[in-house]
C-alpha cells in the first residue's frame, strides 16, 4: 500500500478524521484492513463471494455511522468485532432460512395444507419487516443493532453515544410498538407448524 500521512499519526486522529467525514481517512483504513477482514469473514462463511458482500457491508456501515462512533478499543479490534457480529447474524439468518425451507419441503410431502402455511409465513414475514421499518428512526436503529447485529445494550450505547438506560427504554418501546402492529399475526389458527416456529424463533422477545 502506498504511503499515506496516516501512516505516521496517532490512531485517535484517524478516528476523529473519519468521524468528521474525511473520506481519505476512511479509504485509508479500508485499504489497510479490507483484505484481512475479508479473509476473516470468508473463513467464517466458507464462500469468497459472500465474504466480499459482507466485508463491503462492514465498511459501508462503518462510514454510515461515522458521526456516532465511540471507539474505546483499537480501530482494528472494533472493525473485527463489527465483522464478527455482522457475519454471525448472517449465518444465523441463513441457517434459519435453510432449516425453514427443509422443514417446509418435508411437511409438504405429508400435508395438503402447506400451501396455505407458506402463504401465512410470507405474510407474517412481510408484516414483521413492515412493522420494523415503521418504527421511529432512532428506535429502529437501536432495535436492529440489538436484534440483528447481536450487540449488547452496553455496546449499542457505546456505538451510538447514548446512556445504556436510553437503549433499554427504546428497546422496550420498540417491543411494545411491534406487539401492537403484529396483533392477530401470531394466532396459531392462522398458520401451520413452520409458521409458528418462525414467529417464535424470530420474535421470542416480543411476546
Confidence band of 189 (pLDDT split at 50, 70, 90)? very low
Query: Based on the domain organization, do 125 and 171 belong to the same domain?
Result: yes
For 3-43, how does the pLDDT look when each residue is reduced to its tens digit (9 = 90+)?
778 878 888 999 999 999 999 999 999 999 999 999 999 99
Confidence band of 174 (pLDDT split at 50, 70, 90)? confident
Cell numbers representing residue 36 in the block = 484481512
Residue 46 resides in a domain: yes
Side-chain half-sphere exposure of 31, counting CA atoms within 13 A: 12
Closest CA to 34 of 17, 14, 50, 54: 54
pTM: 0.49
How many domains are contained in the chain?
2
The pLDDT value recorded for residue 63 is 92
Range of the domain at 4: 1-88
| CATH code for the domain in which residue 193 is found | 1.10.10.10
Query: Based on the domain organization, do 144 and 198 belong to the same domain?
Result: yes
**Contact between 74 and 11 (Cβ < 8 Å):** yes
Within 10 Å of residue 1's Cβ, how many Cβ atoms? 8
Alpha carbon distance, N-terminus to C-terminus of the chain: 52
Q: Which residues contact 147 (CB under 8 A, 6 or more apart)?
A: 205
**Contact between 174 and 148 (Cβ < 8 Å):** no
Amino acid at each position: 500500500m502506498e504511503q499515506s500521512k496516516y501512516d505516521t499519526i496517532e490512531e485517535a486522529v484517524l478516528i476523529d478524521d473519519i468521524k468528521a467525514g474525511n473520506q481519505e481517512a476512511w479509504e485509508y483504513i479500508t485499504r489497510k484492513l479490507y483484505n484481512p477482514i475479508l479473509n476473516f469473514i470468508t473463513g467464517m462463511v466458507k464462500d469468497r463471494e459472500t465474504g466480499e458482500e459482507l466485508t463491503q457491508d462492514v465498511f459501508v456501515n462503518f462510514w454510515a455511522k461515522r458521526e456516532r462512533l465511540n471507539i474505546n478499543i483499537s480501530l482494528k479490534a472494533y472493525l473485527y468485532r463489527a465483522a464478527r457480529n455482522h457475519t454471525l447474524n448472517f449465518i444465523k439468518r441463513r441457517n434459519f432460512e435453510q432449516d425453514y425451507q427443509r422443514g417446509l419441503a418435508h411437511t409438504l410431502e405429508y400435508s395438503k395444507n402447506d400451501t396455505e402455511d407458506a402463504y401465512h409465513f410470507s405474510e407474517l414475514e412481510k408484516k414483521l419487516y413492515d412493522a420494523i421499518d415503521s418504527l421511529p428512526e432512532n428506535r429502529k436503529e437501536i432495535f436492529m443493532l440489538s436484534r440483528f447485529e447481536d450487540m449488547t445494550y452496553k455496546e449499542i450505547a457505546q456505538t451510538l453515544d447514548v446512556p445504556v438506560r436510553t437503549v433499554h427504554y427504546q428497546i422496550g418501546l420498540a417491543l411494545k410498538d411491534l406487539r401492537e402492529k403484529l396483533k392477530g399475526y401470531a394466532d396459531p389458527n392462522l398458520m401451520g407448524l413452520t409458521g409458528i416456529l418462525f414467529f417464535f424463533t424470530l420474535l421470542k422477545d416480543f411476546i
